[in-house]
Amino acid sequence: MGKNNILNCTVEKNKEYIIKIENSGHQGEGVGKIDNFTVFVEGALKDETVKIKLIKINKNYGVGKLIEVLSSSESRTEPVCSTYKRCGGCNLQHSTYEAQLSFKTERVRDVIKRIGKLEDVKIHNTIGMENPYNYRNKVQLPVGKNKDGEVVVGFYAPRSHDIINMECCYIQDEVGDKVIKVVKEWIKKFNIETYDEKTNSGIVRHIMIRKGFKTEEVMVVVVTNGNSIPYSEELVSMLKDNIEGIDSIIQNINNKQTNVILGQKCKTLYGKDTITDFIGEFKFNISPLSFFQVNSIQTEVLYNKALEYADLQGDEIVFDAYCGTGTISLFLSQNAKKVYGVEIIPQAIQNAIKNAEENNVTNTEFIVGEAENEIPKLIEKGIKADVVVVDPPRKGCEESLLHSIAKMSPKKIVYVSCDPATLARDLNILQQLGYKTLEIQPVDMFPQTAHVETVVKLEKAKLVNL
């Protein structure tokens, strides 16, 4: 029992092994081998020798639990956070920031070669942050009680719904720690019931904190099960008395037994209904429900790179497929004749229209629908883009959209991606459709985690010397 004869080697579940870590997996985990059998080890780094316990055996690979690092990599560092090992918020804090950035660049290089099968592409080093901590402008944390009945607020442990209580989170803005402390005190002082997802009972479900990084405006959102919130005036006073600069305190009501954090209804308990922030010169109103990129500093870096790669001269028609709330469209509108944004979520398009109006931008038009359906409709109407920007979700672009774009024959395509593997797949398709990938710039939007965001510049092949 528990033994597996795989690839001519015998591995045994729950047995300890000493292995050499030869590579990094997509999530930054170490990858090594027991004979020929591949094992993934969270928390282990390339070039380390580690003792592991083999906790899972699948057909083609296993999962090892790190027991001890026997010889450590130069990239290993002490995590700043005391709950790091138990919390599911970050997964690269045990690696120096320099090594995190190299890991991200290598991840992009690897998929571009292996999946994209592209050669002669300039892949730049990942643009990191000067301070790779306290960068999140939004945090939303579950509230509950532990088995001793104490109030806990924190991220869920990996692959579970156990809340890991925290006093301080190093990736969120520091105001978040202060808000959480006050909310915990309020819950204890007035014996407020916390939500129990198993029974769908109790009151306080989540706390969300948003901050405008340029404006310093702070919004606190208390998500409740049910319309009433006892001692709400006391909560408002406690937050205002203890934390400087709170501009908005909101109750969000979510009565559903669901993993979705926010409900659709909001009540303002104090101050404004929205806070504002800027990306570049553009001002955005942010409500509890609005989508807004969580790393304000790097978003500006990413969008400026997209604008640079689009290389607009002022007379171009631009399509921004997957435009969300139109933030990239607004950036592009500065140097274009007209930008058409397409997005599947109607509320995001409403926000995009409002954002354009409030910034006095008159050369944008936003369309609700699937990019793969709406862009061919625009082309049928005789509207053709000189430059196309795509920023799809993790699964990448629909292949039919790539075909429609190529058929329209724009001079340039700028691809913004949050998943290097689907990006590489799509760049390969675009290469076959006559678009050459010239430059790739990874940007670190989520330090201390394995996420990689990338901007890519492509040009129509006949315009470059092949």
Q: Is 322 in the site for ligand SAM (CB under 6 A)?
A: yes
- In the complex with ligand SAM, the residue whose CB is nearer, 182 or 424, is 424
391 is in an annotated binding site: yes
Angle at which helix 420-432 crosses helix 97-114, to 10 degrees, equals: 30
> Three-state SS for 187?
helix
State which of positions 362-381 bind ligand SAM (CB under 6 A).
Answer: 370-372
Applying the rule CB under 6 A, the residues between 284 and 313 that interact with ligand SAM are 293
Total number of residues shown for the chain:
466
Is 322 annotated among the ligand-binding residues?
yes
Task: Please report, as a single letter, which amino acid is at residue 437.
Answer: T
The verdict on 393 binding ligand SAM (CB under 6 A) reads yes
Helix/strand/coil (H/E/C) assignment for every residue in 43-108: CCCCCCEEEEEEEEECCCEEEEEEEEEEECCCCECCCCCCCCCCCCCCCCCCECHHHHHHHHHHHH
> Is residue 355 involved in binding ligand SAM (CB under 6 A)?
no
Catalytic residue numbers read: 418
Residue 84 and residue 90 in contact, taking contact as beta carbons nearer than 8 Å: yes
| 293 assigned to a ligand binding site | yes
Residue from 418, 429, 438, 461 binding ligand SAM (CB under 6 A): 418
- Closer to ligand SAM by CB, 436 or 451: give it: 451
Q: Which regions of 259-326 does DSSP assign to beta strands (E)?
A: 265-271, 275-279, 282-286, 317-321
Question: What values do phi and psi take at 33, rounded to 5?
Answer: -135, 145
Of 144 and 324, CB closest to ligand SAM: 324
Q: Is 413 in the site for ligand SAM (CB under 6 A)?
A: no
Shortest reach from residue 286's CB to ligand SAM, in Å: 12
3-state DSSP call for residue 378? helix
Was 311 annotated as part of a binding site?
Answer: no
Tell me if 345 contacts ligand SAM by CB under 6 A: yes
* Position among 83, 126, 224, 327 found at the interface with ligand SAM (CB under 6 A): 327
323 lies in the binding site for ligand SAM (CB under 6 A): yes
**CA 420 remoteness from chain centre:** 13
Q: Is 414 in the site for ligand SAM (CB under 6 A)?
A: no
Which of 322, 296, 351, 316 minimizes the C-alpha distance to 419? 322
Report in angstroms how near the CB of residue 16 gets to ligand SAM at its nearest: 42
Of 95 and 327, CB closest to ligand SAM: 327
- Please report whether residue 423 would count as binding ligand SAM according to CB under 6 A: no
How many chain residues bind ligand SAM (CB under 6 A)? 19
Number of Cα atoms under 13 Å in the Cβ half of residue 432: 10
Rounded to a whole number of angstroms, the distance between the first and last alpha carbons of the chain is: 58
> Which residues belong to the annotated binding site for S-adenosyl-L-methionine?
293, 322, 343, 391
Interacting residues with ligand SAM (CB under 6 A): 293, 322-325, 327-328, 342-345, 348, 370-372, 391-393, 418
